[in-house]
Amino acid sequence: MGGALLFSSGGQELLRNDMNHPKEERTLVVLKPDAIQRGIIGEILSRFERVGLKIIGAKMMQPSQEHYHHHYENIGKMISRRGQKAFDVTLGLMTSGPVIAFVLEGIEAASLVRKMAGTTEPKSAQPGTIRGDYAHMSFAHADAHDVGVPNIIHASGDAEEAKAEIAHWFSESELFEYETVHERFTQTRK
């Protein structure tokens, strides 16, 4: 698939690189039940809009245990990384209420969104990151109380993981194409 001609401006044709371009990525973001229940959806989402990431899919849902098992273990290999107990309490947290899933598109979007999300443990997440600014839980506290760490947001680990996660959460018909003004500044001009 070649780059699609989107518009011409001042006699200069601007081409948008298609999704085969290695740097233009899609990534999955899930606003967790704690974010929804705290009423901070707009604040979190506006951070992504502000940097120019493009929202190409969005939906509220309350997925099943099986859905999260596939997400966190089949794709994310969480049990080997974090242990069975962390996995179980995380499923408890995630199934406690509805979430909103988004697909974001942009240049190196997966690593960019991870940077904006901050590290997994809110206590260690840097100020300025979503987890650092909106939460303060530690692993030790979660462990002592047998609860999942409410850290506001899930973000795909990398572009490869994002592909598997997006296919799990969204159908092709739920993803949309349109043009944002930010794309005019990030496109390759030819």
Write out the residues near ligand ADP by the rule CB under 6 A: 76, 78, 81-82, 86, 89-90, 120, 139, 142-143, 148-149, 151, 154, 157
Q: Which residue's CB is nearer to ligand ADP, number 57 or number 76?
A: 76
- State the Cα–Cα distance between residues 33 and 159, nearest whole angstrom: 24
Strands (E), the chain: 4-9, 12-16, 24-31, 54-61, 99-107, 153-155
Give the shortest CB-32-to-ligand ADP separation in angstroms: 7
**Catalytic pick from 136, 141, 154, 168?**
154
Residue nearest ligand ADP, CB atom distance = 120
Q: Which residue's CB is nearer to ligand ADP, number 15 or number 159?
A: 159
Give the shortest CB-64-to-ligand ADP separation in angstroms: 17
- State the Cα–Cα distance between residues 136 and 35, nearest whole angstrom: 13
Q: Which residue's CB is nearer to ligand ADP, number 18 or number 97?
A: 97
Q: Which residue's CB is nearer to ligand ADP, number 14 or number 134?
A: 134
- State the Cα–Cα distance between residues 145 and 125, nearest whole angstrom: 21
- State the Cα–Cα distance between residues 94 and 62, nearest whole angstrom: 9
Active site residue 154: yes
Neighbours of 37 (CB within 10 A): 12
Give the shortest CB-149-to-ligand ADP separation in angstroms: 4
The answer to whether 57 and 103 are in contact (CB under 8 A) is yes
Give the shortest CB-6-to-ligand ADP separation in angstroms: 34
- The residue whose two tokens read 């159908």 is 171
Question: What is the Rg, in whole angstroms, of the alpha carbon atoms belonging to the chain?
Answer: 18
Catalytic residues: 154
